[in-house]
A and B are shown apart, each in its own frame.
Chain A
Amino acid sequence: MKPPIKKKRSFQRRKVCVFCADSAMKIDYKDIKTLSHFITERAKILPRRISGNCAKHQRDLTTAIKRARNIALLPFSIVSS
């Protein structure tokens, strides 16, 4: 008899938006160091389900990243060779 399929139910800690947790952290398009935490290796914007940001801050973050990209502070994409 087949062993019963174990249901994968890994418990996940509910992520809190880092910008809400610490009001001292500001989103600024010139602050690449902070922004680079929210992009993938391929320079895509990290989705909310991964970063755990709230809607408001994710929205602000997205604009900031797009502004930074426009002025070449951040790349649009990184193509792996």
Chain B
Amino acid sequence: MLRRYETIFITHPELSEEDHTELEKKLRSTITAMKGDAIKLEDWGSRKLGYEIGRNSRGRYFLLDYLAGSDLVREIERNLRLNEQVLKFQTVKVTDRVSPETAKTLKMEAPGEKVVKVIERPSTLDEKMKADDEKAESQEGEGK
């Protein structure tokens, strides 16, 4: 049974295009080789770090969302550890035991090989505020 994991990794802010493609290829091939499934790879771009990591105050964030067994996670983390461009990484288990059906639907909706660029992550707070605004507006309309 596969589990769904997400790994965030921070690379050097000035990651060259070659290193980027090489790293991506490496990750994708490991996932396919070890019978996992990549759902998506997000590129958050260069962001300011919460604290300095090896004299870097900025870093480029990537988020890899995938289905895997524990051996694959270990392999991915080993790869990231060996790569000098990678400053830091963290893997979080999103869901335990993904049924084959959900895995299929997840794969269907997945952007596949494409790298999703994320400028700003959607915040639940923004959605809440927007919903509140709409509510206020509709109430105003009723008042009239």
Contacts and interface: CB of A to CB of B under 8 A. Distances in A.
Verify that A and B bind, or say they do not: yes
A67 B93 CA distance: 12
B88 A67 contact: no
B131 interface: yes
A67 B59 contact: no
Given A72-B49, A72-B59, A67 B10 contact: no
B90 interface: yes
A71 B128 contact: no
Contact of A71 (B90, B122, B126, B131): B90
B33 interface: no
B88 A72 contact: yes
Contacts, number: 52
Contact of B51 (A32, A37, A76): A76
B10 A71 contact: yes
Interface string B99-135: 0000000000000000000000111111110010000
Interface size bracket, A side: 20 to 34
A72 B51 CA distance: 6
Interface of A is mostly: loop
A55 interface: no
A75 B124 contact: no
Interface in A57-81: 67-76
30 contacts: A24-B127, A24-B128, A24-B131, A25-B125, A25-B128, A28-B124, A29-B92, A30-B63, A30-B121, A31-B121, A31-B123, A31-B124, A31-B125, A32-B121, A33-B121, A33-B123, A33-B126, A34-B123, A34-B125, A37-B125, A67-B90, A67-B92, A69-B50, A71-B8, A71-B10, A71-B90, A72-B50, A72-B51, A74-B50, A76-B51
